[in-house]
Amino acid sequence: MKTIIYTATLLISMLVNSQTAYEKGMTKAFALWGEQKTDESINLFERIAKAEKENWLPYYYAAQVHIITSFRIKGIDAVEPKLKKAQEYLNEAKTLSKNNAEILVLEAMLNTSYVAHDPAVYGPTLSAKVEELYQKAKAIEPKNPRATLYHAEWQMGGAKYWGKDPKAFCPEIEKAILYFENDKHDTPFYPKWGKDRISQVQATCKE
Amino acid sequence: MKRLLTIIFLSLSISIYAQNTISGTVTDPSGNPIPGANVYLDGTYDGGSTDDKGNFSFTSEEDGVQTLLISFLSFETYTLQADISKMKTLKITLKEDVNSLGSVILNAGTFSAGDNSKASVLSPLDIVTTAGAAGDYIGALQTLPGTSNVAEDGRLFVRGGDASETNVFIDGQRVFQPFTATTNNIPTRGRFSSFLFKGTNFSTGGYSAEYGDALSSVLLLNTIDEPDQEKTELQFINVGIGGGNTQKWEKNSLSVNAFYVNLEPYQDIIDQRVQWLKPYESIAGETVYRHQFNNGLLKVYGGLNYANFDLIQEDINIPEGINFSLKNRNLYLNTSYKGTLGNDWSITTGASFANDDNDIKVINNNVDNETNSVHLKMKLKKRFSNRFKLNFGAEQFFNAFTEKVNSPDFNTFRSSYDNNSTAVFTEANVFFSKKLAMQIGVRGVRNTLLETTRVSPRASLAYKTSGHSQISFAYGDFYQTPQQDVIKFDQTLEPEKSSHFILNYLYQKNKRTFRAEGYYKTYDELVKFDTEQPEFNSIYNNNGSGYARGVDIFWRDNRSIKNLEYWLSYSFLDTERDFRNYPTKATPNFAAKHNLSLVTKYWVNSLKSQISATYNFASGRPYNDPNQAVFQNRKTRHFNSLDVSWAYLISQQKILYLSVSNILDVNNVFNYQYSNTPDINGNFSRRAIRPNADQFIILGFFWTISENKKDNQLNNL
């Protein structure tokens, strides 16, 4: 009996050990991102993803770093390989977690990046796709704060372009604020970003 | 106590491991360091990134044989399996990923319009927003170099070849009657609505061994894999109305659309040179169903088309004109499946079927004909590595034709044949490096009607000369069964043959594309006959031959002027052939020496409008004047046409569209018809063959209804 307890303790201690390795790795990858060492951060997320095998989060973040940084890079030629890689990561994440609203939101942002870099080429072909992805995300998780906020921002951009009132989407931002307050997950490192974007998006409503 | 010690000892043994340091340098094939590469042990957290000098170093508590992986954007992932203790001061060279951007492309002879393909010179949008194309995808392709302007026909005439030398494929399956039924001097259009397609490959020569039975060119159209969204689209045009609907489910999607055209109200207002007894009227319906399997995609396409008209055409030999009426019914079904089989094998297979029925009346003659055609195909592909891929496949064609002609001059005349053929093909794709690639293939065809077997080799080679430019070369032999108008009378003929030699230069940088292609093409075994038109008692042989040589130039610039996109095409063509009833080698009427197209599209943001203008020029076309001693030695005046269109976006989903062809109202002449007998002075009088109307005006309203309010039909105009 005692032997069993010992063994169990031992196994748990090993498990805790590996859990910490994941946590340590993820924490370090976020830290690297914070230090603007984006390549290293992506590399570490990718390594964690490859080692974990069944966790979609490291792939999700590897893609996110590429996507977020892509908005700051100039020239579609420089951005394209990064966005293609990001799409590969998202595809991996999708196979590990089906019907995941968070992944769809990120995919919408990826396509938005294409549109932002070359509106003439990608605007007509990808706009409908971006819209579709946000709608799908909201259908899966109606109260997802990121889907609500970023979809509103995207729609406001469209309304401005077409000479319509972007303020029509302001109530959506109020909803998003509410959803952010209830945005709680037990899974460690579950996406919770986006709150700091509210004020920027809201600026239009206060004009 | 003893137990406690054991636990402490065991825990320690887990925490204290032998530390191994893994280190080395990563470079590209030219020896330059690669910074930022991801270096790690497979299945562990242990790894690091390379620094600015390409160096990496990290420690690991693993031991024994481990797998070291090194990955970086645009390079192939490197794998090393070795004992961890040996992984020190490694010198690693990463191979460039030949599938990445910036790799050489095998493009000699081909224009592609695809989604994100680097080889694309046109976007799918361009295909349909070109002024003068009037929503016909063929119209846009006629602005590319290598095509000749034959405005009275509407089909594709490529590099000295006539329209029958181009074949059309949808999702790899043959389309037997890609154009709407028409008659002389009434331009035809593609049967298929442009919004069903996501990508187009237009090859003006030297194409893959997968395709055959075309002497000059193939046009490969691919239908959309998955529609973006559910939507309803409505079109109201001055010559017809149409509508479509797309529905999506989990793994299925269905698109249905229909279009009705009636030219009567239009022709009542605008003068025509022919006398329409019953103006052109057609109704077309199409449907596409797609199903996503776990490992593949099934697409089923069905189209039904019915058209009729009745007219009197001028003729110099018949003062009262020629009465011609036609009723055509066409059914086309196309099923294709594309999937993976595992182990880097993939399969593409499909079947297409067409039934084409014509009821024609020419003066007092009745012609009823019917063609049933089937194409079955299967292709397998094995990817041995990124650098070596092998394709092979087989296909079977069945073609049954029957015709009954009733004439007051002779009684009923019947003709029929079964034109069946079997083909096999194989092709290898080899990337020697990111800079040098080759495709080599061979095709064999057995035709049971003509009882002939033909083997044709195909090859192409491409070399990247700098970061933005490349040269490529292509060669191929091509065979084609003689056309229906001939083999219904003589089935002992041989297939016609052509050979292509193509040299291509491509430069692409910053949204500017320059492409120059020189070619030489020979024709052999062309069908000849001894009467004006092929008839049942004509004498046929395969003694015809010819050549075509020329240079095609394409320049596209989307960058220099804001909101303006334009492309310029120029083709120089020198061709002569002895075919059909030609007494000697001569340049045919459809082959103008110089062709030029300038296509512009300007987006005016303040007006929410896209204004497009297309200018087409073709030098005078050869024609035969029986008053002259030499055959086919006269030329018509030059062809000029400026087409303008304006698309105004009333709101995001409502578009108003106006297009006017030949806005300067130039009088163009395509050819001359001479009388069969000379007048009293010994002169043959003539009649100019001109368009039925010098201008064509389209006014339309396009409305898209979808939950997602982003989409519109601008890409279908």
Rg from Cα positions in chain A = 20
Distances in Å between the Cα of B632 and the Cα atoms of A130, B577, B579, B583 are 58, 11, 13, 10
Nearest to B391 by CA among B423, B427, B424, B425: B427
* Contact predicate B443/B479, CB 8 Å: no
DSSP codes, B498-534: EEEEEEEEEEEETTEEEEEEEEEEEEEEEEEESSSS-
Spell out which residues of chain A touch residue B612, defining contact as CB-CB under 8 Å: none
* Residue with the two structure tokens 């043994």: B13
CB contact, 8 Å: A142 with chain B? no
Q: Provide the phi-psi class of B154: left if phi over 0, else alpha when psi is between -120 and 50, else beta.
A: left
* Residue with the two structure tokens 């977690």: A97
Separation of alpha carbons B233 and B303, rounded Å: 18
Per the domain annotation, does A152 fall within a domain? no
CB contact, 8 Å: A17 with chain B? yes
Cβ within 8 Å, pair B73-A130: no
Per the domain annotation, does A182 fall within a domain? no
In the prediction, which pLDDT does B716 show?
A: 47
- Domains parsed from chain B with CATH numbers: 2-93 (2.60.40.1120), 110-710 (2.40.170.20)
CB-CB: which of A80, A135, A158 is closest to B101? A80
Q: How many of the other CB atoms lie within 10 Å of CB of B414?
A: 9
In the prediction, which pLDDT does B63 show?
A: 85
How is residue B33 annotated by DSSP?
Answer: B
Per the domain annotation, does A35 fall within a domain? yes
CB contact, 8 Å: B10 with chain A? yes
Per the domain annotation, does A117 fall within a domain? no
- pLDDT tens by residue, B350-376: 999 999 999 999 988 999 999 999 999
Strand partners, B546: B523, B577
Distances in Å between the Cα of A64 and the Cα atoms of A38, A78, A133, B481 are 11, 17, 16, 56
Q: Is residue A183 over pLDDT 50?
A: yes
* Contact predicate B410/B422, CB 8 Å: no
Sequence-distant (≥ 6) Cβ neighbours of residue A116 within 8 angstroms: A71
Specify which of B178-192, B209-223, B554-568 reaches the highest per-range mean pLDDT: B209-223
Per the domain annotation, does A194 fall within a domain? no
* Contact predicate B213/B479, CB 8 Å: yes
Per the domain annotation, does A54 fall within a domain? yes
Residue of B nearest to A161 (CA): B605
CB contact, 8 Å: A128 with chain B? yes
Sequence-distant (≥ 6) Cβ neighbours of residue B630 within 8 angstroms: none
Query: Largest alpha-carbon pair distance within chain A?
Result: 76
Q: Which two tokens stand for residue B486?
A: 């001939």
In the prediction, which pLDDT does B107 show?
A: 77
* Contact predicate B433/B461, CB 8 Å: no
Angle formed at CA B4 by CA B3 and CA B6, multiple of 5 degrees: 65
Mean per-residue pLDDT, B201-207 = 90
Per the domain annotation, does A173 fall within a domain? no
ipTM for the predicted complex: 0.81
Burial of residue B609, with CB atoms counted within 10 A of its CB: 0-12 exposed, 13-18 middle, 19 or more buried: middle
CB contact, 8 Å: B564 with chain A? no
* Contact predicate B354/B373, CB 8 Å: yes
Nearest to B26 by CA among B49, B43, B44, B46: B49
Separation of alpha carbons B489 and B688, rounded Å: 32
When scoring A3, A43, A156 by the number of chain B Cβ atoms within 10 A, the one with the most, hence best to mutate, is A43
Instruction: Return the CATH number at A2.
Output: 1.25.40.10
Rg from Cα positions in chain B = 30
* Residue with the two structure tokens 């939507």: B231
Q: Is residue B67 over pLDDT 70?
A: yes
Q: Is the pTM for the entire model greater than 0.80?
A: yes
CB contact, 8 Å: B325 with chain A? no
Cβ within 8 Å, pair A124-B49: no
Mean per-residue pLDDT, B307-320 = 92
Mean per-residue pLDDT, B306-325 = 93
Q: A40 to chain B, minimum CA–CA distance in Å?
A: 6
Spell out which residues of chain A touch residue B124, defining contact as CB-CB under 8 Å: 125
Q: How many of the other CB atoms lie within 10 Å of CB of B503?
A: 15
In the prediction, which pLDDT does B642 show?
A: 95
Cβ within 8 Å, pair B708-A132: yes
Mean per-residue pLDDT, A167-173 = 89
H or E segment to which residue A155 belongs: helix A145-161
Positive or negative, the CA dihedral B445, B447, B450, B452 is: positive
Q: In chain A, how many domains are there? A: 1
Residue of A nearest to B649 (CA): A162
- Lowest-confidence pick of A73-77, A141-145, B463-467, B532-536: A73-77
Domain, as residue range, for A21: 1-99
Q: B395-411 burial, b if ≥16 CB within 10 A, otherwise e?
A: bebebebebebeeeeee
In the prediction, which pLDDT does B115 show?
A: 46
Per the domain annotation, does A31 fall within a domain? yes
